[in-house]
Amino acid sequence: MNAYPVKGLEQIKELLPPDCWFCESMNHGMTDGDRALYMEGDINLDHLDLDFSFDGDEVAYSLILVNGDLRAGNISNRETDGAVGLIVLGNLKAGNIVVGGQEIYVAGDLEVNGLYWGDYNHGNLVVNGHIGVNTFLSTDYGFDHQRFSDGRGVDYRHFFWDEAESIFEREVLEPVFHPECLLDDDDLVDAPYSYKDWLNDSEIFYRMKEGLDILLDDGNMPVKNEEVPLVFESLEFNGHNLKRLRESPLFTDAFGAKISGDYQVVEYWKGDDFKRVSVQQHTEGSERVYFQSGDKAVLIRYEKNTSGALQVAVICRYIEEGTETKWYYYDPELPEHEVFGPLTQPMWEKLLVEWSEMEHLRERFRETVTVGEVQAILDLPVIRQKYSDYYNDDAEQLWFGNCNWQFRQADNPGGKCARISAVVPLQYTGDKDCGENGAFGFFHFDLDTGDEGSRINLYTQYTDDYNSAVSAVSWWDTERYGRAIKYFNDLKKRIYALNENWS
């Protein structure tokens, strides 16, 4: 590390992210005399040790600041009561990261091919970009658990979080960690109170030093979200793509689309933009596409020309609350219509991309969460005999990670349909802006029976409260469908082994 300059924090203050721990501490006068090791440009290291080093009786530096990207074989420290902080202003890629006692702040993306283990409450992780990690393990460590629960810009293969568990079983870790990295029952003095109790940290540090695998599937880090195929012939605005909207499975599926008069409607907000598609499924020329952003709106619809033939018209207007304002035919050559430009082709292209994602996730959901799969799980002896007391708050609970699974049989006393529910904590008591009972994400996989036969539909409780009303999840809610698929796949991986061990 001697090749890099050591600077006073005041010298690099302008480079520090305003929300990082060091910047906040400087503002409160808590870092007087602290120094930072400064690395300029893209850095490649075999290993980065974040334990404190000393210059005489003083700490040589308390922070490493990388003004660029950082690639490291491994990053670690042994002392978790306090350690050197790390701020990377670009992207961070590493083989393994085993840390605690400091803040790891990544302004860009974090990619870890193996293990990220954060230990002890003196440390935390902040990542502004995408997180891709094979195995994430938190033992009393700070991180954005709500982001992980939501799946927002996070991809991982295995996730272990002490606070989401009450029982810590070695067998949960066995499929993930190399056997030498786990302790045996005879090695424990007391009952385990953390996943950390099962970990042979000396072996883990040895393997990092020698370049040996810690995980059984090391190197299989999940990639970013898969590419979604475009279901339209192009992103062009034309009659073929309008027809493709009308014939979309989002309407033929007849679940999730609203009914307004004679029209089926899919409408949703993305940020400040509102989009609505209305169709009469079997009526040519019935397509209507409405865009709204701020106080401006554009409507695309078919009209009959003087000869009686259908032609596409684009009209626009300003929106004034409480007033029915006049529509005008959109003319891109008119200076006064220039402000409506972003609501035409750019908004149209966004719609087609978002619509493609909706159809893609609808297809994946229908393929993943089938009537046969749901019924097979409900019929498992361990579920029927141990976990089917759906309406009893004191009944035994099934947890996999931080996900609580609940099961309602078809012969339930409430006379409701069969259901499998996943309940995921979004916030915990004591979190900022959190109510006294926490907040939850609900994923209800209901076995509905109607004119089209039986199938599984997804429902939720949008106010994140146990007492809130249950609502159907429309196809536009792609984030919720993506999470539902992920949770159900995880259930399928675990539930059959649980049943086999139980019986």
Confidence (pLDDT) at 398: 92
CA 422 – CA 493 distance, rounded (Å): 15
Q: 207 phi and psi, to 5 degrees? A: -70, -35
pLDDT of residue 256: 67
pTM: 0.65
pLDDT, tens digit, 9 for 90 and up, residues 282-296: 999 999 999 999 999
Number of Cβ within 10 Å of residue 492's Cβ equals 14
**Length of the chain (residues):** 503
Q: Which residue has the tokens 């393997």?
A: 207
Which residue do the tokens 């599926």 mark?
253
Q: What is the pLDDT of residue 2?
A: 63
Spatial neighbors of 400 by CB under 8 A, at least 6 apart, are 490, 491, 494
Name the pairing type of β-strands 258-260 and 439-450. Answer: unpaired
Q: Which residues of the chain have pLDDT under 70?
A: 1-2, 28-30, 57, 166, 218-226, 254, 256, 401-402, 426-438, 464-465, 503
Strand segments (E) across 346-438: 398-400, 403-408, 419-427
Residue 181's φ and ψ, nearest 5 degrees, are -90, 0
Residue 174's alpha-carbon distances to 169, 217, 248, 289, in angstroms, are 9, 12, 45, 53
How many Cβ atoms from other residues are within 10 Å of residue 168's Cβ? 18
> Quick one: pLDDT at residue 1?
59
Q: Where are the alpha helices (DSSP H) in 369-470?
A: 371-378, 381-386
DSSP, collapsed to helix, strand or coil, labels residue 296 as strand
Q: Are 101 and 77 in contact (CB under 8 A)?
A: yes
Q: What is the pLDDT of residue 192?
A: 87
3-state SS class at 69? coil
Cβ atoms within 10 Å, residue 242: 23
What is the secondary structure of 145-160 as a DSSP string? HHHHHHTTTEEEEEEE
pLDDT computed for residue 28 by the predictor: 67
Q: Is 259 exposed, middle or buried (0-12, 13-18, 19+ CB in 10 A)?
A: exposed
Q: Give pLDDT, residue 431.
A: 46
Contact 134, 177 (CB under 8 A): no
**pLDDT tens sequence across 332-351:** 999 999 999 999 999 999 99
- Cα separation of 403 and 164, whole Å? 8
Under 8 Å between Cβ of 491 and 478:
no
Per-residue confidence (pLDDT) for residue 432, from 0 to 100:
45
In the chain, domain spans:
6-210, 239-356, 369-502
What does the buried/exposed string (b/e) look like for 12-49 if buried means 16 or more CB atoms within 10 Å of the residue's CB?
A: beeebeeebbbbebbeeeebeebbbbbbeeebebeebe
